Amino acid sequence: MSNESKQSYKQNYTDNVELSIFNCGRESCQPGHTWGPGVRDHYLIHLVVSGKGVYQVGGVSHTLQEGDLFLAKPNQLITYAADEANPWEYYWVGFNGACASKLVQQMPFSEARPVHHCKDLHTIREALYNIYLSRGPEPQCEALMTGYLYIFMAHLMKEARDTMPNVGSSSSQYVLSAIKYIQFNYSHDISVDDIAKAVGVSRSHLYRVFMSNVGQSPIDYLTNYRVGEACSLLKSSNLSIAEIAVSVGFFDQFYFSRVFKKVKGMPPSKYVAAQEKDPLPAATAVPALFTAAEEL
């Protein structure tokens, strides 16, 4: 691959602990050019601006083309490869930081849907490439790069919101607020009463709008969200089952194991063994409305 086909910048040091850019750039790949299987220690988003390629994560292969974005999370086993006949060109940014996870949760990605097609490719591409154009070792360059990263994320958050069904209705607004509350607080000892209070509705009304918009109850959504986060930790960390239980809001390990088995069909210990035997399990099917709600 010639030097002109790849332009990249990597920061060796940063003072910004809230949101830090690790690297950014653009690349016109050679046919079949592949990265992985491997893991990153930060979040990574690629935008395909031309050509085709394949992104594999969680045992599922996604064929991408112009306008598609794909997300890789820290410690997530991934592979991506350019098409042999029409290799892709992509822009990318790698980042991490104290608020990175909460920001990513509001973008149009989920465990079941790590790929998103842009509605406004020009705007997304410009915001992403501006990060690279602002590169430099000076403090003002880092600030400008981070500012463009926030702009890029804001555009993706808007697209995530636009994908939600009936976002104009009051019931959907309650659901959106409840889901955000769950995503920001699932690791704490919260209940449905806490969620309803945070949203400003009664417990019974919250149940009705959840069933109408998401197709499941608030407690089922909270439970499935916690178990999903537990699965990610079981696959990507060295934490014990007891430590993972506490990390996702279960303060009784045995109760956590019972709930996990009910949701996944096996206890956490067997789930870990299954991952070691087959590190790329097939993604579990998720109801459409549940997936859409989870994308926030």
pLDDT tens for 28-39 read 999 999 999 999
Instruction: Categorize the per-residue pLDDT at 262 as very low, low, confident or very high, splitting at 50, 70 and 90.
Output: very high
Question: Nearest Cα to 89, choosing from 128, 43, 145, 133?
Answer: 128
Contact indicator for 187, 248 with CB cutoff of 8 Å: yes
CATH of domain 170-294: 1.10.10.60
Token digits of residue 173:
């607004």
Looking at residue 163, what is its pLDDT? 66
Looking at residue 171, what is its pLDDT? 73
Instruction: Categorize the per-residue pLDDT at 287 as very low, low, confident or very high, splitting at 50, 70 and 90.
Output: very low
- Domain 170-294 in the same topology as domain 3-162: no
What average pLDDT score do residues 93-118 get?
88
Contact indicator for 260, 227 with CB cutoff of 8 Å: yes
Token digits of residue 195:
């969620």
Q: Which CATH number fits domain 3-162: 3.40.50.300, 3.40.50.720, 2.60.120.280, 3.30.420.40?
A: 2.60.120.280
Instruction: Categorize the per-residue pLDDT at 293 as very low, low, confident or very high, splitting at 50, 70 and 90.
Output: very low
Q: Please state, for a pLDDT cut of 70, what percent of the chain lies above it.
A: 85
More confident residue, 46 or 12: 46
Looking at residue 24, what is its pLDDT? 93
The single residue listed with the structure tokens 């083309």 is 65
Domain spans, the chain? 3-162, 170-294
More confident residue, 283 or 66: 66
Looking at residue 283, what is its pLDDT? 36
Instruction: Categorize the per-residue pLDDT at 110 as very low, low, confident or very high, splitting at 50, 70 and 90.
Output: confident
Predicted confidence (pLDDT) at residue 280 exceeds the cutoff of 90: no
Q: What is the mean pLDDT of the chain?
A: 85
